[in-house]
Structure 1
Amino acid sequence: MALKPLFAIGILAIFSVSAVYSVEYLPMFDKNTYSVGEWAVITVEDASKNALVDVAESIVIDLQSNSDTVGIQLKLVETGQNTGIFTSIIQLSSSPSIENVLYVHDGDSIHAMYLSFIKTAKIKSDSYSDLSPILVSTDKADYKVGEIIVISGSVSGGNSSYDVNLSIIDPHGNTIYTEAVDLSYVQKFSTEINTEITGWSDSGNYKILVWHESEYTQAEIVFSFSSTYGKQKTTDTIKIFNSPINLDYAITSGKITLVRADLGKNSLFFSIDVSSGGHLTVKLPRYVMDSQDEDGDSDYTVLMDYRNAAFVEKQNPNERTLTVPYIHNTKSIEIVGTFLDVDPSAPSESTVIPDWVRNNAEWWSKDLIGESDFLSGIEYLIIQGVIQIPIIPANNGSESSAFVPLWIKDIAGWWAEGMVSDSEFVNGLQYLISQGIITV
């Protein structure tokens, strides 16, 4: 027979509250497994509910079982004045649920829910032992967005013919990730999860649930996650080995230790030292490196530890900027193009360009003069050696031989207004002429 509710509250003092309070808001059971008829002690830490310093306050949580999916509400009382720790007991009974009594059967799961946090315990069955044969752990207790979660464990007596099933539950109780992980012949398993994939949007306590062959053979672990991007970002320049060229780059959670050029492959090889997952962003001036085909710009090939990797690119006439996400323990990133020159004659910022050339660019951008007048300035820069190209395309004297894409007008206007430097403008023209995009 179930104890009466008031008596149940009165005997709370005789139970030892052994829950750990390190995970705020997450309900904690005093044990992982119970027998039908046992009492469970449930504890929650919530400092925000400690509004009255001199009064022991209370909160309410929800409890459910497989046998009672509607469940009941349980009132938890603060353990003392100004503690922010709330606790109560519930009897796990084969009788129908009433106040402070939850209806359960052998093999049930019990779910304690507070706010968006859920904790699960088990009711023993004949096939369920106190000690789960599954052990699971993470490489650390808390993570930030972009970091990799390393999960590992073992299954005592597990069958390697069957996978280990893994689920991750977010603070709202939603399953955001599932995976079937191979169990090795020595009964061990491991996997890595990238927190930049879809679903990792809320900060809070997440639960990893692992089971093997049967839902009654399971284990779980809780970790905290911050959706605030907390990794340090380093922005710097680095010189290509045995070259005068410096590259601008930014990297999170690590550093570039060396950049090597492979002229045979038209590639740049970045050796990196990183502590967790993150991003490498590098600016590649077109006069140093590019990737082209007969139709114009083509995609670079990016390798992470010698395997094809995804990347994001931004480009303009002067440079292409690649951002490559990497996982923890990555050692190298290689970018492969179709052109590489690590000792080019890059125009200097001190290059003197006559005012009349700048004026022509401004007037042409505003449609005050024609294209031929703008091209006369480019021809002057080529003759003076300011713009250096391998071969100057021959001009047969016809107007149709000279061509400038209309979008160059915008760049010419930006340069005339000082929004683009002389060096960037000359580099862009030099590249566009050498590629035949501008003909003079």
Structure 2
Amino acid sequence: IISYYDEISNFKYDSNSREISFSMPFEWSISNINQTSEVHQEIVVPKNFGDLLVSGYDMYINHVKISQDVVNIDDFFSEERVVHFIIYQRELLNVFQYNQNQDEMNFIIKPDRDYTHLSSVTENGQFRVLVSWEPENLKSNSNAKIIFDITDIFLKNRPVATEYEFSMTQNNKIIYEQSGISSDSKEEHNIAEFMMPEGISGIAYLNFKNLDNNNLAKSTIPIIIDRITNEISIPDWIRNNALWWSEEQIDDNTFIQGIEYLIKNNIIVIPQTQQESSTLQEIPPWIRNNAAWWAAGQIDDTTFVQGLEYLIQKGIIRV
């Protein structure tokens, strides 16, 4: 979270509801609102954190729903999405009439739909891909239905008929692929239906490439197959290690070696995760942020473990 108004506190993320909450001081008075042209908050979402790469967000301030006009999604960074929430005076006045006696803003930000509906922009900035699937929890050895639309950003995100290549992959292996011409209808979506092979679980990727025969018109969206939460077990004392590492009191190698030892000896129990053939050399900054938030109880075990699974896939943690 980046705040351009005041320091935030009480940050929490609920992985089940995909709901972000935090607080910020604010004087709820007409005189202060009249002097406040806007309150600007940003959320930075790593593009490998699929749960929050949704197509839209709802914001509530002190339990009052804010207009969708305040939300602006910027997907034009290669590694992260930046979501801007710019709350103007008219929105502040609307909240004020319901919450005149409070001295802070209590924010809740969550996906704007009850079902998962993700979006991503192609590397060349021309197309936006919107994706959902059925059933909500995709499982191995069962039917899967991927529903997607390809829209043109320069045509105000209108669906367009364009050539595409689609695939689902895991560990650089193709699970399913198809190609065709996308629908330009707002009512008729593109469908990919197939049987999910046996033994598929964890993070997989929906890949769209060569849109309109342009090799730069490509995008990848991470999703989770066979999402399981009851296999996670992390002793509370490990939070100290995560905190020390997030504060750079211990180095990356010490932290990683400790996590590897704990997983190998079943002190930390996480869903089985396979390593990809492509690896990373450095730990992304968002993993360190997750460790700090988890140590402080601001995110749950499931969200923290998603970071560990990512490090296993990228070959940084070896188990």
Q: Structure 1-normalised TM-score?
A: 0.26
Compare CA radii of gyration and give the structure with the larger one.
1
Of structures 1 and 2, the one scoring higher in RCO (CA 8 A, sep 6+) is 2
More helix by share: 2
